[in-house]
Chains A and B, each alone.
Chain A
Amino acid sequence: VLIMILFQLPCKIKFDMNKFQICCVFLSRMAVDVGSSGDWDGRWSHVQKFLERSGPFTHPDFEASDETLQFLLETCKILVIGAGGLGCELLKNLALSGFRHIHVVDMDTIDVSNLNRQFLFRSKDVGRPKAEVAADFVNSRVPGCHVVPHFKKIQDFDESFYRQFHIIVCGLDSIIARRWMNGMLLSLLVYEDGVLDPSSIIPLIDGGTEGFKGNARVILPGMTACIDCTLELYPPQINFPMCTIASMPRLPEHCIEYVRILQWPKEKPFGGTYMLILSGARLLINNLLLFVWSLCPTTYGVALDGDNPEHIQWVFQNSLERAAEFSITGVTYRLTQGVVKRIIPAVAAYIPLNNYLVFNDVDGLYTYTFEAERKENCSACSQVPQKLQFPPSAKLQEVLEYLTENSSLQMKSPAITATLEGKNKTLYLQTVASIEERTRPNLCKTLKELGLADGQELAVADVTTPQTVLFKLNFTS
């Protein structure tokens, strides 16, 4: 797909290679260590057929030249996000396609369950940072390749880091992280007199898999559909209603969730402190109840660690007891672990477009490629001001629910601030316990009571975006 981007470009966007190269040479201030690449005869012959020969199906702007391989080998800087299943495959494919200046970011360490597909890791590497082991392996297997590892979260870097790359490829395992990355690249775009400067675009190639299904997409921030434009395409996460878990379980999963969400924080089997905040939360309505509950295990008491076999064993035994009470069968250790860790089954066969490719090999093999369309009022990339329409009598709670439940926004834990009486006031924020406690009463107040006016701007921050989203509040009658 990467080679397609640079040299064939299935989408209809012009990409000026010369200008791009000049910009890139200018940008890469760090001396690029070409050194003795140790190249041998014929090393790049497979790749060269595509870089040095013209063809009838290449992009009209493509020019066959032997400079392009040099560009890949010496200048092009590419960032791979995630060194897991997709990441390992990506690093190998890029290295063998001529890319030498590769950075890889991953905040995880290696687990034994990774070894069935993350082929750059071995048993002896368990516990070490993925990014570092992956980089070591590729650098040693592919002479001349220089992978730089970062054992960090993507949020640990700012614009200055991301700006140095020509292309970014994601093999992430969370939608939140994807959206954050998407937002970061959007924030790098430069507009001059309302016209997008193409040299500020960093293409984003994103992929994801689940079992025997996968998808890949090409995003040119500011030009083609972004992650948020197609948010509704992502399947909803399975979360069982609280009343089912608490009093009407029917499936073994319900029993396991009961132990994870309700019993663990109550009994603190491996130690911890218990806060009264839990009982207070029961007064509020259902879905907010769920949310506060889910905060507890991490904030108060020893958190349930899905990788700790003792913890899983405890949950398993208690789930069996819970299930026995209701004559429910089917609770197994494997299921328990799967539910606690939200495990998605996975295999080694990762498959690294119009711009959106879907892959499914449950029955035969099937791919479908289509052009995802930009959303006119996308909250991430459209620059169209986002609106919030509520009557003044609406409670802040309703605004919060809208931000989290609306399928185009799907925020996780939005923090809402507004300018009132010339000062920046936090209306509600949940990610810091003390502020959550202080601002919680605001949820029950009406927008009018909070002093908000028609046409007021509300700033919303959330893990799904590195930039604050501005909303305009319109009062309805």
Chain B
Amino acid sequence: IMADQKTNKEQRYDRQLRLWGDHGQEALENAHTCLLNATATGTEILKNLILPGIGAFTIVDGHRVTGEDVGNNFFLSSDSIGKNRAQAATEFLQELNSDVSGNFVEESPDKLLDNDPEFFHRFSLVIGVQLPESTCLRLGSVLWSAGVPFLVCRTYGLVGYMRLVVKEHTVVESHPDNALEDLRLDQPFTELKNHISTYDLDSMEKKHDLQVPKNYKEKEAFRQLIREGIRKNESGAPEEEENFDEAIKNVNTALNPTKISSAVDDIFNSEQCENITSQTAAFWLMARGVRDFVQNEGNGSLPVRGTIPDMIADSDKFISLQNVYREKALQDAAVVAKHIQSHLQAVGKVTYPFNAGGLPVSPLCKNAAFLRVVRCRSLAEEYSVDSFHKDTITSCMDSPDSEMVLYLMLRAVDRFYQQHSRYPGVYNYQVEEDISTLKLCVNSLLQEYSLNVNVKDDYVHEFCRYGAAEPHTVASFLGGAAAQEAIKLITHQFVPFNNTFIYNAMAQTSTTFQL
């Protein structure tokens, strides 16, 4: 096999390809994202999408560049002052990567929503930055109906905020951090049983009704059993046997019972998995194939994953053991593929135009235990007095310094903006007065939602102090966090947050809430 001379793009993107693979990169290069408002937060987010090679971006911004804008934004210069911000930022950002296609629209988001809301339908993802509440809600509604994912981001003084709004986001490759191995030691398949029986070890006594050790006591007894298997030298002391040591160390994790997680169960029980039609998305077709396998050939278990961890052994024994699992995995994947095929035929499709080579059944089966679906509530649901998450807010506010108070303050400053067409404390002379006005906004917010919580005066004061500033350091942090979530949404790899993220740059803490 001749290794290809690496293309320039492969070299350039090498470090990220190791994270999301060529197929992830392809998804990224086919994506087109829209950014509303090229403030520091916005350009930092885009920078982090342009560098890895997103297909295209479009900036929508009706503002003209001010001196303040240039002060905190790396992608504007003093020459940009007075020019249209969308255009100025696009030029600087475009320069980061010539593979990416940059566009701009000199228009305020509100105008676009008035005249051409369908403009937004063409995007893979819309990112709204520093949007006033009314614009945010309007846009949220348009994008929700159109099924376009919406990521709301905001830097407000020393507070960062992100809200993900996506109806349903499916993930096959979630890349879990600490996945348990799929060794099937509690329910060995035939080929595994046969393979193990070729080893010359004393057979285990059937003392525990063919169950694996469950609690600490049983696991200790099991370890002792292993210890007894160690060869002894002439003086009766056990030899140093690395493989036995490894076995003893791994008793806890290797003997985990083979079972299906609730997340995967929920997927199997979803309406989309149950009712397959010609409109069904690839993910649900594949999930259904796996479900059929579980309910039939799998006898309640998922297809075998096929990978085993490295173990101390000589090469031949390891490879032949590995092959037992690999071959079983291939067999199971073929059965899953057959199930999927029969559903396709039932709805009148021969094959699925997913990618060259049909549906990716092999990665599906390898990741069967880690399938995930993320469903976010709409902004309308979050804001409606009838459906907002009162319990979540109230219980978080049991700790009055929890990040939830920062969320409430952001809602309060939005209220202030609605009433006064400006944010509190922008000019020094306004700070003092605005504190009491902002406090009224906080109280009216709490009253409207019948929230019996205490928002400390210190936070009202602090938010007036901020004067709606957008310090570059906070914008940069949020730029990183948001871009990473955007990449997860575009590549359908790794699991996005659900659905509100608050960053407290004062204490360097953060929390995620579901609102």
List A residues at the B interface (Cβ < 8 Å).
Answer: 1-4, 8, 10, 38, 40-47, 49-50, 52-57, 89, 92-93, 96-97, 112-113, 115-117, 119, 141-143, 211-212, 216, 244, 248-251, 309, 313, 316-317, 320, 326-328, 333-334, 337-338, 343-354, 357, 360-367, 369
Contact = CB atoms under 8 A, between A and B. Distances in A.
Contacts of B13: 116
Given A1-B473, A97-B471, A334-B14, 8 more contacts: A49-B157, A55-B462, A57-B506, A250-B318, A326-B315, A345-B16, A345-B19, A347-B52
Contact of A316 (B3, B81, B480): B3
A55 B466 CA distance: 9
Interface in B453-484: 458, 461-462, 465-467, 469-473, 476-477, 479-481, 483-484
A113 B506 CA distance: 35
A97 B477 CA distance: 14
B71 A367 contact: no
Contact of B319 (A2, A49, A250): A250
A4 B508 CA distance: 9
A40 B67 contact: yes
Interface string B66-107: 111011111001100100000000000000100000000000
Interface stretch (B128-136, B170-178, B254-262, B410-418): B170-178
Contacts of A212: 19, 484, 494
Given A46-B469, A116-B13, A116-B52, A309 B71 contact: no
B1 A352 contact: no
B481 A351 contact: yes
B470 to A, nearest CB: 6
B51 interface: yes
Contacts of A338: 18
A28 to B, nearest CB: 24
Contacts of A56: 458, 461-462
B71 A46 contact: yes
Given A57-B462, A115-B12, A326 B319 contact: yes
B15 A116 contact: yes
Interface of B: 1, 3-6, 8, 11-19, 40, 47-48, 51-53, 66-68, 70-74, 77-78, 81, 96, 157-158, 174-177, 310-316, 318-319, 322, 428, 431, 458, 461-462, 465-467, 469-473, 476-477, 479-481, 483-485, 487, 494-498, 501, 503, 505-510, 512
Nearest to B18: A345
A10 B509 CA distance: 11
11 contacts: A45-B71, A46-B472, A53-B431, A55-B462, A96-B72, A96-B74, A250-B311, A327-B319, A364-B495, A365-B512, A369-B507
B508 A10 contact: yes
**A-B complex: 10 closest residue pairs judged by Cβ atoms:** A42-B67, A349-B480, A345-B18, A56-B458, A364-B497, A353-B508, A333-B3, A42-B68, A96-B472, A43-B71
A97 B51 CA distance: 23
B52 A354 contact: no
B11 A93 contact: no
Contact of A328 (B4, B314, B319): B319
A89 B494 contact: no
Nearest to B508: A353
A212 B158 CA distance: 23
B60 to A, nearest CB: 23
Q: Is the interface of A mostly helix, strand, loop or mixed?
A: loop
B502 to A, nearest CB: 11
A249 B469 contact: no
Contacts of B47: 119, 348
Contacts of B483: 348-349
B508 A347 contact: no
Contact of B494 (A96, A119, A344, A362): A362
A349 B48 contact: yes
B472 A97 contact: yes
A113 B15 contact: yes
Contacts of A112: 8, 11-12
B19 A4 contact: no
Contacts of B501: 365
B18 A351 contact: no
Nearest to B49: A348
B476 A89 contact: yes
A1 B67 CA distance: 25
B467 A49 contact: yes
B18 A57 contact: no
Nearest to B155: A46
A259 B310 CA distance: 19
Given A46-B472, A351-B477, A364-B496, A96 B15 contact: no
Nearest to B19: A345
Contacts of B479: 349
Contacts of A337: 14
Contact of B508 (A55, A92, A244, A354): A354
A4 B495 contact: no
B473 to A, nearest CB: 5
A367 B471 contact: no
Given A53-B465, A334-B18, A349-B483, A119 B51 contact: yes
B497 A248 contact: no
A365 B77 contact: no
B19 A46 contact: no
A433 B78 CA distance: 57
B11 A113 contact: yes
Which of A42, A317, A338, A365: most chain B Cβ within 10 A?
A365
Contacts of B503: 367
Which of A43, A49, A54, A333: most chain B Cβ within 10 A?
A49
Contacts of B68: 42-43, 45-46
Contacts of B428: 52-53
B315 A249 contact: yes
Given A93-B472, A350-B480, A363 B78 contact: no
Contacts of B19: 211-212, 345, 347
